[in-house]
Chains A and B, each alone.
Chain A
Amino acid sequence: MPERTVAVASRSGLHARPAKIFVQAAARQGTPVRIRVGNGAPVRADSMLAVLSLGAEHGTEVTLEADGPGADEALASLAELLGRDLDAEGAPGA
Protein backbone atom coordinates (compact mmCIF):
# COMPACT_ATOMS: atom_id res chain seq x y z
CA MET A 1 0.00 0.00 0.00
CA PRO A 2 1.38 3.46 -0.89
CA GLU A 3 2.64 5.40 2.14
CA ARG A 4 4.14 8.79 2.84
CA THR A 5 5.90 9.73 6.08
CA VAL A 6 6.21 13.39 6.99
CA ALA A 7 7.03 15.45 10.08
CA VAL A 8 4.24 17.71 11.37
CA ALA A 9 5.38 21.25 10.64
CA SER A 10 2.68 23.21 12.46
CA ARG A 11 4.29 24.68 15.53
CA SER A 12 1.50 23.80 17.93
CA GLY A 13 1.17 20.27 16.58
CA LEU A 14 -1.70 18.51 14.85
CA HIS A 15 -4.71 19.84 16.72
CA ALA A 16 -7.16 22.75 16.55
CA ARG A 17 -6.75 24.70 13.32
CA PRO A 18 -4.04 22.56 11.67
CA ALA A 19 -5.99 19.39 12.47
CA LYS A 20 -9.22 20.83 11.11
CA ILE A 21 -7.57 21.96 7.87
CA PHE A 22 -5.98 18.53 7.48
CA VAL A 23 -9.17 16.59 8.26
CA GLN A 24 -11.20 18.66 5.81
CA ALA A 25 -8.58 18.13 3.10
CA ALA A 26 -8.55 14.38 3.77
CA ALA A 27 -12.33 14.27 3.43
CA ARG A 28 -12.07 15.90 0.00
CA GLN A 29 -9.78 13.19 -1.36
CA GLY A 30 -11.33 10.66 -3.71
CA THR A 31 -10.00 7.76 -1.69
CA PRO A 32 -9.93 6.92 2.04
CA VAL A 33 -6.68 7.96 3.70
CA ARG A 34 -5.43 6.66 7.02
CA ILE A 35 -2.78 8.11 9.32
CA ARG A 36 -0.61 6.67 12.06
CA VAL A 37 2.32 7.53 14.31
CA GLY A 38 5.22 5.07 14.12
CA ASN A 39 3.93 1.55 14.37
CA GLY A 40 0.68 2.61 16.00
CA ALA A 41 -2.71 1.62 14.67
CA PRO A 42 -3.73 3.62 11.59
CA VAL A 43 -6.86 5.76 12.02
CA ARG A 44 -9.12 7.64 9.62
CA ALA A 45 -7.55 10.86 8.41
CA ASP A 46 -10.97 12.45 7.82
CA SER A 47 -12.06 12.18 11.48
CA MET A 48 -11.21 15.03 13.85
CA LEU A 49 -11.34 12.76 16.91
CA ALA A 50 -9.17 10.13 15.23
CA VAL A 51 -6.54 12.67 14.22
CA LEU A 52 -6.55 14.28 17.68
CA SER A 53 -6.11 10.87 19.26
CA LEU A 54 -2.66 10.60 17.63
CA GLY A 55 -1.29 13.31 19.91
CA ALA A 56 1.08 14.45 17.13
CA GLU A 57 3.20 17.42 18.20
CA HIS A 58 5.43 19.69 16.16
CA GLY A 59 8.06 17.48 14.55
CA THR A 60 6.23 14.19 15.16
CA GLU A 61 6.60 11.93 12.12
CA VAL A 62 3.26 10.66 10.87
CA THR A 63 2.66 8.13 8.12
CA LEU A 64 -0.18 8.48 5.63
CA GLU A 65 -1.48 5.47 3.76
CA ALA A 66 -4.07 5.02 1.02
CA ASP A 67 -4.96 2.49 -1.62
CA GLY A 68 -6.62 2.39 -5.00
CA PRO A 69 -6.91 4.95 -7.80
CA GLY A 70 -5.78 8.42 -6.82
CA ALA A 71 -3.91 7.18 -3.75
CA ASP A 72 -0.57 8.68 -4.77
CA GLU A 73 -2.08 12.07 -5.53
CA ALA A 74 -4.01 12.07 -2.25
CA LEU A 75 -0.91 11.21 -0.24
CA ALA A 76 1.20 13.82 -2.01
CA SER A 77 -1.36 16.54 -1.41
CA LEU A 78 -1.90 15.70 2.27
CA ALA A 79 1.82 15.26 2.95
CA GLU A 80 2.43 18.70 1.47
CA LEU A 81 -0.20 20.13 3.81
CA LEU A 82 1.35 18.53 6.90
CA GLY A 83 4.75 19.89 5.83
CA ARG A 84 3.50 23.47 6.14
CA ASP A 85 3.01 25.50 9.32
CA LEU A 86 -0.77 25.70 9.24
CA ASP A 87 -0.79 27.77 12.44
CA ALA A 88 0.96 30.56 10.59
CA GLU A 89 -1.53 30.71 7.75
CA GLY A 90 -4.49 33.01 8.24
CA ALA A 91 -4.65 32.57 12.00
CA PRO A 92 -3.95 35.94 13.63
CA GLY A 93 -3.10 35.61 17.29
CA ALA A 94 -3.24 31.83 17.31
Chain B
Amino acid sequence: MADRAGTAPLPLDPRAVRLDAVAADVEDAIRQCGRTLAAVGAVDGSYTEAMLERERSISTYVGEGVAIPHGTLVSKDAVRHDAVCVLRFPGGVDWHGERVTVCVGIAARGDGHVRLLSELARILLDPDRAAALRDATEVAAVVALLTPDPDSEGEDASE
Protein backbone atom coordinates (compact mmCIF):
# COMPACT_ATOMS: atom_id res chain seq x y z
CA MET B 1 0.00 0.00 0.00
CA ALA B 2 2.99 2.26 0.46
CA ASP B 3 3.42 3.38 -3.10
CA ARG B 4 0.29 3.01 -5.19
CA ALA B 5 1.62 5.37 -7.84
CA GLY B 6 3.95 2.63 -9.05
CA THR B 7 1.37 -0.07 -9.57
CA ALA B 8 -1.23 1.02 -12.09
CA PRO B 9 -0.63 -0.22 -15.63
CA LEU B 10 -0.49 2.20 -18.53
CA PRO B 11 -3.70 2.34 -20.60
CA LEU B 12 -2.26 0.77 -23.74
CA ASP B 13 -4.64 -0.75 -26.29
CA PRO B 14 -2.78 -3.33 -28.41
CA ARG B 15 -4.35 -1.68 -31.47
CA ALA B 16 -2.42 1.48 -30.55
CA VAL B 17 0.96 -0.20 -31.07
CA ARG B 18 2.78 0.11 -34.37
CA LEU B 19 6.09 -1.68 -34.72
CA ASP B 20 7.47 -0.41 -37.99
CA ALA B 21 6.33 3.14 -38.58
CA VAL B 22 8.23 5.57 -40.78
CA ALA B 23 8.18 9.34 -40.34
CA ALA B 24 9.83 12.12 -42.35
CA ASP B 25 10.19 14.42 -39.36
CA VAL B 26 8.91 15.30 -35.89
CA GLU B 27 5.63 16.75 -37.15
CA ASP B 28 4.92 13.66 -39.25
CA ALA B 29 5.63 11.39 -36.27
CA ILE B 30 3.34 13.40 -33.99
CA ARG B 31 0.54 13.42 -36.56
CA GLN B 32 0.80 9.62 -36.71
CA CYS B 33 0.56 9.46 -32.91
CA GLY B 34 -2.55 11.67 -33.03
CA ARG B 35 -4.16 9.46 -35.67
CA THR B 36 -3.35 6.34 -33.67
CA LEU B 37 -4.86 7.75 -30.47
CA ALA B 38 -7.94 8.88 -32.43
CA ALA B 39 -8.29 5.45 -34.02
CA VAL B 40 -8.77 3.82 -30.60
CA GLY B 41 -11.31 6.48 -29.63
CA ALA B 42 -9.14 8.20 -27.02
CA VAL B 43 -9.04 11.67 -28.58
CA ASP B 44 -10.73 13.73 -31.25
CA GLY B 45 -8.92 15.18 -34.23
CA SER B 46 -7.99 18.46 -32.54
CA TYR B 47 -5.61 16.69 -30.16
CA THR B 48 -2.94 16.39 -32.83
CA GLU B 49 -2.70 20.18 -33.11
CA ALA B 50 -2.37 20.38 -29.32
CA MET B 51 0.50 17.90 -29.39
CA LEU B 52 2.22 19.88 -32.11
CA GLU B 53 1.75 23.07 -30.10
CA ARG B 54 3.33 21.46 -27.04
CA GLU B 55 6.23 20.25 -29.11
CA ARG B 56 6.84 23.76 -30.45
CA SER B 57 6.91 25.01 -26.87
CA ILE B 58 9.41 22.38 -25.71
CA SER B 59 10.83 19.13 -27.03
CA THR B 60 9.24 16.04 -25.53
CA TYR B 61 12.41 13.99 -26.01
CA VAL B 62 13.14 12.34 -22.64
CA GLY B 63 16.20 10.20 -23.32
CA GLU B 64 16.76 6.53 -24.23
CA GLY B 65 15.71 7.27 -27.81
CA VAL B 66 12.16 7.98 -26.66
CA ALA B 67 9.89 11.00 -27.15
CA ILE B 68 6.56 11.40 -25.39
CA PRO B 69 4.31 13.76 -27.35
CA HIS B 70 1.27 14.96 -25.41
CA GLY B 71 -1.16 17.87 -25.65
CA THR B 72 -1.25 21.13 -23.79
CA LEU B 73 -3.47 21.98 -20.84
CA VAL B 74 -5.95 23.78 -23.08
CA SER B 75 -6.50 20.65 -25.14
CA LYS B 76 -7.84 18.37 -22.41
CA ASP B 77 -11.40 18.67 -23.73
CA ALA B 78 -10.17 16.79 -26.77
CA VAL B 79 -9.45 13.70 -24.62
CA ARG B 80 -12.25 11.15 -24.26
CA HIS B 81 -10.32 8.68 -22.14
CA ASP B 82 -6.74 8.22 -20.93
CA ALA B 83 -4.59 6.32 -23.39
CA VAL B 84 -1.08 5.87 -24.66
CA CYS B 85 0.10 4.73 -28.05
CA VAL B 86 3.49 3.29 -28.98
CA LEU B 87 4.97 3.91 -32.41
CA ARG B 88 8.34 2.39 -33.20
CA PHE B 89 10.43 4.12 -35.85
CA PRO B 90 13.23 1.62 -36.55
CA GLY B 91 14.75 4.02 -39.08
CA GLY B 92 14.86 6.79 -36.49
CA VAL B 93 13.40 10.31 -36.50
CA ASP B 94 15.57 13.41 -36.11
CA TRP B 95 13.99 14.94 -33.01
CA HIS B 96 15.53 18.38 -32.74
CA GLY B 97 18.98 16.81 -33.01
CA GLU B 98 18.23 13.67 -30.97
CA ARG B 99 17.57 10.30 -32.60
CA VAL B 100 14.16 8.93 -31.63
CA THR B 101 13.18 5.34 -32.37
CA VAL B 102 10.13 5.12 -30.09
CA CYS B 103 7.27 7.59 -29.67
CA VAL B 104 4.91 7.12 -26.78
CA GLY B 105 1.94 9.40 -27.44
CA ILE B 106 0.03 10.30 -24.30
CA ALA B 107 -3.55 11.49 -23.84
CA ALA B 108 -4.97 12.13 -20.39
CA ARG B 109 -7.83 13.99 -18.81
CA GLY B 110 -7.20 16.45 -15.99
CA ASP B 111 -3.92 15.81 -14.21
CA GLY B 112 -3.79 12.20 -15.38
CA HIS B 113 -0.84 12.84 -17.64
CA VAL B 114 1.50 13.36 -14.65
CA ARG B 115 0.78 9.81 -13.49
CA LEU B 116 1.14 8.37 -16.97
CA LEU B 117 4.45 10.16 -17.49
CA SER B 118 5.63 8.89 -14.13
CA GLU B 119 4.68 5.29 -14.96
CA LEU B 120 6.42 5.49 -18.29
CA ALA B 121 9.55 7.14 -16.87
CA ARG B 122 9.90 4.40 -14.27
CA ILE B 123 9.94 1.81 -17.02
CA LEU B 124 12.41 3.72 -19.18
CA LEU B 125 14.74 4.32 -16.23
CA ASP B 126 15.51 0.60 -16.42
CA PRO B 127 18.02 0.44 -19.31
CA ASP B 128 17.11 -3.18 -20.04
CA ARG B 129 13.41 -2.42 -20.37
CA ALA B 130 14.13 0.70 -22.44
CA ALA B 131 16.26 -1.38 -24.81
CA ALA B 132 13.60 -4.08 -24.97
CA LEU B 133 11.03 -1.45 -25.96
CA ARG B 134 13.28 -0.07 -28.71
CA ASP B 135 13.95 -3.59 -30.01
CA ALA B 136 10.45 -5.07 -29.66
CA THR B 137 9.27 -6.99 -32.71
CA GLU B 138 5.88 -8.09 -31.37
CA VAL B 139 2.90 -6.09 -30.15
CA ALA B 140 2.50 -8.43 -27.19
CA ALA B 141 6.05 -7.67 -26.06
CA VAL B 142 5.35 -3.93 -26.08
CA VAL B 143 2.13 -4.40 -24.14
CA ALA B 144 3.90 -6.62 -21.60
CA LEU B 145 6.67 -4.06 -21.12
CA LEU B 146 4.28 -1.19 -20.46
CA THR B 147 1.75 -3.09 -18.37
CA PRO B 148 4.10 -5.04 -16.12
CA ASP B 149 1.71 -6.07 -13.38
CA PRO B 150 -1.06 -8.38 -14.60
CA ASP B 151 -1.64 -9.66 -11.04
CA SER B 152 -3.43 -6.52 -9.94
CA GLU B 153 -6.14 -6.78 -12.59
CA GLY B 154 -9.33 -4.93 -11.83
CA GLU B 155 -8.08 -3.69 -8.49
CA ASP B 156 -7.47 -0.14 -9.56
CA ALA B 157 -10.79 0.70 -11.17
CA SER B 158 -10.15 2.92 -14.13
CA GLU B 159 -13.14 4.43 -15.80
Contacts and interface: CB of A to CB of B under 8 A. Distances in A.
A41 B115 CA distance: 17
B114 A93 contact: no
B17 interface: no
Contacts of A47: 63
B15 interface: no
Nearest to A58: B111
Interface residues of A, number: 25
B53 A52 contact: no
Interface string B109-149: 00101110111111011000000000000000000000000
A15 B57 CA distance: 13
A53 B118 contact: yes
Contacts of A1: none
B157 interface: no
Nearest to A44: B125
A94 B111 contact: no
Contacts of A93: 53, 57, 72, 74
B3 interface: yes
Nearest to A87: B73
A48 interface: yes
A57 B62 contact: no
A62 to B, nearest CB: 13
30 contacts: A12-B111, A12-B114, A14-B114, A15-B114, A16-B60, A17-B57, A20-B58, A20-B59, A43-B125, A48-B63, A49-B62, A49-B64, A49-B121, A49-B125, A50-B121, A50-B125, A52-B118, A52-B120, A52-B121, A53-B118, A53-B121, A55-B117, A56-B114, A57-B114, A91-B57, A93-B57, A93-B72, A93-B74, A94-B54, A94-B73
Interface of B: 3, 5, 53-54, 57-60, 62-64, 70, 72-74, 111, 113-115, 117-122, 124-125
